[in-house]
Amino acid sequence: MVTWVFLAAAAVAVVFACLAVVVRNPILNVLSLVIVFFAMAAIFALLGMDFLAAIQVIVYSGAILVLFLFVVMLLNIPRLGRLGSGRPFQALLGSLLAAFLGGLLLAAAALLPAGLGAVLPGAAAGGTAVPIGRALISSHLFVFEFITLLLAAAIVGAVYLGERELQ
Amino acid sequence: MLDALWLIPALCLAGACANLVLGTLRAPKAIVAVVGVGSVGAATAVAWATLWAYAGQPLAVVVRPYFTWISAGDITVNASLQLDPLSAVMTAFVTVVGLLIHVYSVGYMHGEGNAAFARYFAYLNLFMFAMLLLVLGSNLAVLFIGWEGVGLCSYLLIGYYYRQLWCAQAGMKAFIVNRIGDLGFLLAIFATLAAFGSLEFETVFPAAAADPASFGPEATVIALLLFVGAVGKSAQIPLYVWLPDAMAGPTPVSALIHAATMVTAGVYMVVRANVLFRLSPTAMLTVAVVGGVTAIFAATIGLVQNDIKKVLAYSTVSQLGYMFLATGVGAWVAAIFHVVTHAFFKACLFLGSGSVIHACGGEQDMRRMGGLRIHMPTTYWTFLAATLSIAGIPIFAGFFSKDEILTRTWAAGASDLNGFGDAYRVLWALAVAAALLTAFYMFRALFTTFHGSFRGPEEVAHHLHESPRSMTLPLVLLGVLSVVGGFVGLPGQLLHLEGLNLIERFLKPVVIPLAEVGGHAAEAAHGAHGIGLATEWLLVLVSVGAAAAGVLLARRFYLGAGAFLLPRRLAERLPLLHRMLLNKYWVDELYALLVIRPLRAAAGFCWRVVDELAIDTLLVNGTAFGVELGADLARYTTTGNIRNYALMVLAAAVGIAALLW
Amino acid sequence: MTAELVPIPFTWVLALSAVLFAIGTLGVMLRRNAIAIFLSLEVMLNSANLAFAAFAYRFGAVHVAAAAALDGQIFIFFVIAVAAAEATVGLALFIALYRLRETIDVDRFNILRW
């Protein structure tokens, strides 16, 4: 049962990722990506990472992608050009390289000894939110604080960029 | 008093340092003169007190090590001084002549500015320091420091009037030519270290003398290399060319450095290393041939020179040739004897010529002099005494030393020294001919300068005057010394008074007897001359006759009603010979052609091709150009298009992934 | 406490991550609209997240100590936080650029050159 659900989620993720790249309507692109992220949230949940599944939905889909959607609508972006338009040779080379890199990664995955994973001990009972929360304010406190600093800087930067008329 | 040995050079060094400081302060000339002359005077006083104390002792070798200078592996070189009969004689006359010339310089250089005056005395004091270090050093390394020091001072003083290009060039010529000789000396030092493991005279020479058989080849190599050094410093063929040009310096410098002391350093060094030379018949013959040929060669050039200092310069080269001839026939004492007498009369001659030049307002051409005898009697009489001395007229100092050399050369030929008897006989003939020429050209100089009537311009004629006391006093003293200086080396054998020859008796310990090899003595002609008394008197007559002939010839040519007519006719009759002599056998031109032009060409090649083309253009600018070209090409990769950059990032990522695979 | 095994081989998750990464890269290479490129970048970021998750899941089973499994999840958390910051600044930049040039076609911006 778990396996089938995973395969289904994986299929949805791949299909909608392709759509997000291929479709020429920007709004549909963003919405396809939302579905990809939902599928990934499902996979996280299957792997026993319930906290991540939650923030994937809340933060990524709910906040970041909505921001994208907002910008797309604000700028009133017309239909996108065809894939690889403008610089065909470069597009061809880039595609080949991307495919090669994907193949490389797939081959790496195939070469690794396959093995089953395991859900975090106790996750089934109490979820991962508590251990992650504890780790963030104990062993990973410095990085955690640093991220807050980064976010603060990003906000300041965004406000600055949005306010001034650039020359 | 012997403990004060180090003070002798140190006082001169202190004087040099003080004068350098005074020069920067532009101190008045009186202070500089007191410091300059005072330091040398103090050194002279210390030296003579030391020699007095030394002479009272049995004549041992006194070595005073002061500190370890070089210590590397088995090799230790001490900074140490040595007092033995040879260095005693050298110190004695170097200090006296040096002091007199310092005194003379005070008068001669009074026209210079304060700074230049102090600079002159600083160099002169430094020269005294180096020269005394040279004669007092107890090993080849200390000797070499003195050797280089006098070379440096010589360069500095030849180029004293450095604002005139030709003076600076003469200084450089002297320095560079000396470098060639110094290379030989340096190699000799290394060879000595390799063969004997030490540079100390008191280690090396007894060791070589004790075992002549085993050190033969080494001795030949070392002796010949040392002689290369001596040829450079003492201006022998083929390296003599710098000495005539060295007359660009002030005249007292010519007297002190380029006549009396520095140029005799080569003779001193050869005599010092006499053991090594005696071990090598080849080296002895080489020295004798070079000396003898130089003596006649330089004398012939001196015949036609018109510059009074040039005449004296070639005469110096010629006399140095005599000294080397003496060393080459094993007459070590005679060589040093001639060094001493030559120092007296040649210093006197140079100072006299300086006095003349001073009076004539810087004129050096004898054709524009004449009749000066009336205007400057002191200079004339001292010049005459010195001229008689150098010409070898009996009872004057030069006669005794020159006659000794001629006699010993004849003896070497007669006793078939080292089996080269014929060569020595030829050298004797050359030396006698050179004696005749010497008498001729010196009296030519005397007659044209002091006799006849003045031939210079009117305004100079009015200013003709005797030089100040500070210049005439040294002249008189040196004149007296050129008369009586020879009495220290009277030929005792001739006068049936053994032991009359003081200098020979004094210097005897310097010539260490060699051990016997294979039953017979390693050297043939040492000690007794090996010729009969009658022969010896005959030889004296020959040399006196040669000198007298030279004088009479000069008198016929340059004095009286027909003065200058005969030489002119002779020059017209033999134009080629005259031009050859006047142009000094074109040796300078020959060197320019054979050495300087190829060197310049090579230097030009290094400059144009190696430096400018290969290094500057190809390597330096080429690298820069390559970087620029590469950057110019690489510039096109920064298209400004973000997608291009993204592609590059991807390509790099793929590359790294492939690498990590 | 024993780990609870889930019947999904972790290499499957890795393979999914690889496929998503390639799709995202293709998007970056082929699109010329800045927002579309940015969206593809998000796909790449999430595929990396998936790889983190895969290894966290795998090593949670191998090393029974909890830290190994937890660190991967915390990394994903951080990536999401950084992605949020990046989206904030990136989108603000696009708006600024749009104000300047009336377009966000990256081919029209070539001042980042010599």
- pLDDT, position C43: 94
Distance CA B594, CA B600 (A): 11
Interatomic CA distance for residues B591 and B600, integer angstroms: 12
Which B positions 630-649 lie with beta carbon below 8 A of chain A? Answer: 641, 643-644, 646-647
Residues of B in contact with A104 (CB under 8 A): 654, 657-658, 661
| Residue C2 maps to a domain | no
pLDDT at position C1 over 50:
no
Subunits with 3+ Cβ pairs within 8 Å of B are A, C
Residues of chain B scoring pLDDT < 70: 58-59, 492-500, 515-530, 561-562
pLDDT band at C104 (very low <50, low <70, confident <90, very high): confident
A120 vs C69: CB contact, 8 Å cut-off?
yes
In a domain, C113, yes or no: no
Give the per-residue pLDDT at B317. Answer: 94
Q: Which two tokens stand for residue B122?
A: 């600083």
How big is the CA angle at B168 (ends B166 and B170), to the nearest 5 degrees?
65
Is the confidence at residue A125, as pLDDT, over 90? no
- Look at residue C99 and tell me if it is in a domain: yes
Domain that holds residue C21: 10-108
Instruction: Give the C window 71-90 contacts with B, CB below 8 Å.
Output: none
Q: Chain A partners of C20 at a C-beta cutoff of 8 Å?
A: 13-14, 17, 36
Going by pLDDT thresholds of 50, 70 and 90, the confidence category of residue A12 is: very high
Higher pLDDT, A128 or C67: A128
Closest chain A CA to residue B652: A97
Residue A157 bridge partners (DSSP): none
Evaluate whether B153 touches B160 at the Cβ level (below 8 Å).
no
Whole-number pLDDT of residue A121: 56
3-state secondary structure of B381: helix
Q: Where residue C4 falls among pLDDT bands split at 50, 70, 90?
A: low
Q: Which of A37, A70, A73, A106 to probe by mutation at the C interface, max C CB count within 10 Å?
A: A106
Three-state SS for B66? strand
Between the CA of residue A111 and those of A7, A10, A104, C19, what are the distances in Å? 20, 20, 10, 16
What is the residue type of A110? A
Residue C1 falls within a domain, yes or no?
no
As a three-state string, the secondary structure of A56-86 is HHHHHHHHHHHHHHHHHHHHCCCCCCCCCCC
Query: What CATH number does the domain containing C57 carry?
Result: 1.10.287.3510
Q: Is C33 left (phi over 0), alpha (psi -120 to 50) or beta?
A: beta
Task: Tell me the average pLDDT of chain A.
Answer: 87
Q: Which residues from chain C sit within 8 angstroms of residue A84, using beta carbons?
A: 29-30
Nearest CA in chain A to C15: A106
Report the neighbours of C using a cutoff of 3 or more CB pairs below 8 angstroms: A, B
Q: Would the CB atoms of C111 and B643 count as touching at under 8 Å? A: no
Smallest Cβ distance to C43: which of A17, A139, A159? A17
CB B94 within 8 A of CB B8: no
DSSP B258: I
Q: How far is CA B139 from CA B203, B271, B340, B431, in A?
A: 9, 14, 22, 33
Query: Is the model more confident about B405 or about A84?
Result: B405
CB B25 within 8 A of CB B141: no
- Hey, which residues does B517 pair with through a beta bridge? B520
Whether B161 contacts B198, CB under 8 Å = no
Full DSSP string of B17-39: HHHHHHHHHT--HHHHHHHHHHH
DSSP state of B247: G
Amino acid B496: pLDDT = 62
- Tally C-beta pairs within 8 A across B and C: 30
Among chain B residues, the shortest Cα distance to C22 is held by B650
Residue C114, domain member (yes or no): no
Contact B640 C113 (CB under 8 A): yes
pLDDT of residue B526: 43
Nearest chain A residue (CA) to B653: A101
Cis ω on the peptide bond leading into residue B575 (within 30° of 0)? Answer: no
Counting the structural domains of chain C, the total is 1
Contact flag C4-A119 (C-beta cutoff 8 Å)? yes
Sequence ranges of the domains in chain B: 588-660
Instruction: Decide: helix, strand or coil at residue B119.
Output: helix
The alpha carbon of residue A58 is apart from the nearest alpha carbon of chain C, in Å, by 11
pLDDT above 60 (res C65): no
Of A44, A132, A154, the CB nearest to C89: A154
CA distance A86 to chain B (A): 11
| CA separation, residue B126 to residues B8, B404, B525, B565, C97 (Å) | 12, 34, 40, 47, 81
- Read out DSSP for B125-173? HHHHHHHHHHHHBSBHHHHHHHHHHHHHHHHHHHGGGTTSHHHHHHHHH
Angle (CA) B141-B143-B147 rounded to 5° is: 115
pLDDT confidence of A122, banded at 50, 70, 90? low
> Do the Cβ atoms of B650 and A90 come within 8 Å?
no
For residue B83, what are the β-bridge partners? Answer: B62
Residue C103 located in a structural domain: yes
The pair of structure tokens assigned to B347 is 């210093």
| Interface predicted TM-score (ipTM) | 0.89
Interface test with C, best of A22, A46, A52 (most C CBs within 10 A): A52
Please report, rounded to a whole number, the percentage of residues in chain C having pLDDT higher than 70: 85
Residue C3, pLDDT > 60, answer no
C107–B645 CB contact, under 8 Å: no
Residue B313 confidence (pLDDT): 93
